[in-house]
Chains A and B, each alone.
Chain A
Amino acid sequence: MKRPFNACAVLCAIACALAAGQAAAQPARGLAPGPITITIAGPGSQLSAIAVSGLKNLGGDDDHRVGSEFVGTLRRDLELSGYFRIIDPHAYIEDPQSSGFELGQFNFADWRSINADFLVKGSVAATGAGVKLTAFLYDVAQQRRMMGKNFTGDAGDVERMARRFADAILQAATGQRGPFDSKLAFVSTRGGRFKEIYTQSIDGQDLFKLTDNPTINLFPSFDRSTRYVLYLSYKSMEPALYLADLKQQREARLDSPHGRVIGGTISPDGEQIVAAIERGGSTNLYLITREGAEIRQLTDNNGINVSPAISPDGATLAFTSDRSGTPQIYLTSLSGGAPKRLTYSGDYNTTPAFSPKGDKLAYQSRNNGRFDIWTIPVGGGDPVQVTDGNGSNEYPSWSPDGRYLAFSSTRGHSSRIYIVMVDNRKIISALTEGNGNDSCPVWSGWLGD
């Protein structure tokens, strides 16, 4: 295992750059001291140029299928990160099969001449079902290795190796691990007119139809470990919450003695659920265990209390209530207490989501009949608009590193899931494609080892 090169220097350089308030990426070149660092760039600012070379075949990958799978996924993830521009592979001078991939075995001038700031090189060896893969990130100007990883696994693991390497590149280049070794769950009508829940990788691969009941399925939520998926379904012809245990391949329907369950979310630790229960037209929130034992009632009024979101530490609940006359977002302790109103701007604020650090909420706020995504500090403060008023933008969900939000938007021909970089409000790309409309995205935590 290669050790990351000079990680402390990278982190320190970033901290200094941020402290100096630099807005744009200023990759170090030529004689400038220190390694390349990337600071968060404003919209339209220059992206860092990265070349992702093909993997050298050390045996068993003569058709370069494995290498291409790794490189293709890595390039897509790096583009989705919003930090990098992939240099067109046709411009690459060097042949990865005839040159080396370790420091000293290739010529940096071949990469400097095509204006690469960063370079990825590596190798692959495939034996039977097993794959051994090595990849390095190089700083072209400084002619040094920044980071390297060895991966072993079977042929089905190669895309995931690429996602983990993309996350490691972001760690090396920005000081913060990337979010791509994770999953997206969302609701889609791609199979026809029925809303089913699907999962896929963030980069659009491994599409999996999680529900298959031709009715209505909504509001998927993951626990942090991605073992459980909680969702609402009309598959019994009435709304009910279902908790799917992906490890045990079991599913439980959660019914309440208090009324009809119309929504809910699972806590990050997977131990508790907050459910929205309707009775006599009023909808209130209840805290229950994963097994369905009631812990306490959280709201108690004649109005509407929905869209529960649980903070990463499991202590605080955010939810939407109409108690003021319009849908607004409130905070309350999961151990009980009076709710406190958080949003005051706008007459329709809903679908709160806690950032991974728990310091901010993302939510949707309506203006001129359409929604935009906003964030607001949990401790109080001014809301910040994230999306741009193009289409209706709904259901924000944070990436595990807290840098990005997935959300649904009608900006295109149909509703799709998009990724936006929160700090610079850059809408990077759509994450879903295909027939039908996609909605209710939820971004999982990092997948385990």
Chain B
Amino acid sequence: MIPVQCGRGGWVTSRSMVARAVAIVSVGVMLAMAGCSSKKPAPLPGENPGGGQIGETGVGKTTSSLEDWKKGLIPGQGPLSDIHFAYNEYTIQEQDGPVLKSNASWLQAHPQTRVQVEGHCDERGSEEYNIALGAKRAQAAKDYLVTLGISGSRISTISYGKELPLCTEHDESCWSQNRRDHFAVSD
């Protein structure tokens, strides 16, 4: 993969020829997309194809919800606790103030660690809007931790929208669990 600097806005596009096996049937892909070939083209490859997966985490470290989900695991609760949100809201709720203070205390006691705040949503609403809403939720927790004295450089954010629910029933008891920020700690 060769990073290429493109354009006045500084956008970066990384281009890659797809795997050789795919290139051989490239005409097949084009024609199959045009609906005039029965050849079976290969799918687009993943960013990190192949290779065995080795699970390795430092003490006190938690993997991201997506990494857990890829392995078929339920996201584990690490040293930091989740917080929850009202429907379509991203303001920190009063009862989660102590949770965030406790999380901040742990982070202060472990200054070598970093944390990624994950914003999650319930299943209602569109996928794209929920990714944006989850980003708001993650940012709200980051801002709160910063006001408690945690350096913003130790905190990153990511949104998974409604893609990684903890609970899959279609009712409020389930939705309220899914509207959450999860805190994944790394060294």
Give the one of B16, B43, B72, B133 with max A CB within 10 A.
B43
Q: Which residues of B contact A209 (CB under 8 A)?
A: 43
| Contact call B11/A208, Cβ cutoff below 8 A | no
Number of A-B contacts (CB under 8 A): 199
- Asked if A385 lies at the interface with its beta carbon under 8 angstroms from chain B, I say no
A236 and B128 contact, Cβ closer than 8 Å, known pairs A257-B11, A281-B136, A294-B8: no
Q: Which residue of A lies closest to B23 (CB)?
A: A249
Q: Nearest Cβ in chain A — how far from B3, in angstroms?
A: 9
Which chain A residues (218-268) contact chain B, with CB distance < 8 Å? 218-219, 226, 233-239, 242, 244, 246-257, 260, 262-263
| Contact call B163/A195, Cβ cutoff below 8 A | yes
| Contact call B7/A160, Cβ cutoff below 8 A | no
A307 and B129 contact, Cβ closer than 8 Å, known pairs A183-B35, A234-B66, A252-B15: yes
Instruction: Decide if the interface of chain B is mainly helix, strand, loop or mixed.
Output: mixed
- Asked if B115 lies at the interface with its beta carbon under 8 angstroms from chain A, I say no
Q: Which residues of B contact A305 (CB under 8 A)?
A: 132
Chain A proximity mask over B21-49: 1 for CB below 8 Å, otherwise 0: 01100100110111111111101111111
- Asked if B55 lies at the interface with its beta carbon under 8 angstroms from chain A, I say no
Chain A count of residues within 8 A CB distance of the other chain: 83
Interface size of B as a range: 35 or more
Chain A proximity mask over B43-63: 1 for CB below 8 Å, otherwise 0: 111111100000000000000
CA distance A329 to B41 in the complex (A): 38
- Asked if A432 lies at the interface with its beta carbon under 8 angstroms from chain B, I say no
Q: Which residues of B contact A233 (CB under 8 A)?
A: 47
Q: Nearest Cβ in chain A — how far from B158, in angstroms?
A: 6
Task: Give me 14 other A-B pairs in contact (C-beta within 8 A), A213-B45, A216-B66 excluded.
Answer: A211-B44, A235-B47, A235-B48, A238-B158, A249-B26, A251-B16, A251-B44, A257-B11, A257-B12, A292-B7, A293-B9, A294-B10, A327-B125, A448-B34
Could you list some 26 contacts between A and B, CB below 8 A? A199-B33, A213-B44, A216-B163, A218-B127, A219-B127, A226-B34, A233-B47, A234-B163, A236-B47, A237-B64, A242-B44, A244-B44, A249-B26, A251-B16, A260-B158, A263-B128, A276-B128, A278-B159, A288-B9, A293-B9, A294-B10, A307-B129, A350-B125, A350-B126, A439-B127, A440-B127
Q: Which residues of B contact A (CB under 8 A)?
A: 6-18, 22-23, 26, 29-30, 32-41, 43-49, 64, 66-67, 69-70, 72, 90, 124-129, 131-133, 135-136, 138-140, 157-160, 163
Closest A-B pairs by Cβ, 6 of them: A294-B9, A293-B7, A281-B139, A213-B46, A156-B38, A212-B43
Q: Which residues of A contact B (CB under 8 A)?
A: 153, 155-157, 159-160, 163, 181, 183, 193, 195-196, 199, 201, 206, 208-216, 218-219, 226, 233-239, 242, 244, 246-257, 260, 262-263, 276, 278, 280-283, 286, 288-289, 291-295, 304-307, 320, 327, 348, 350-351, 364, 366, 369, 394-395, 439-440, 447-448
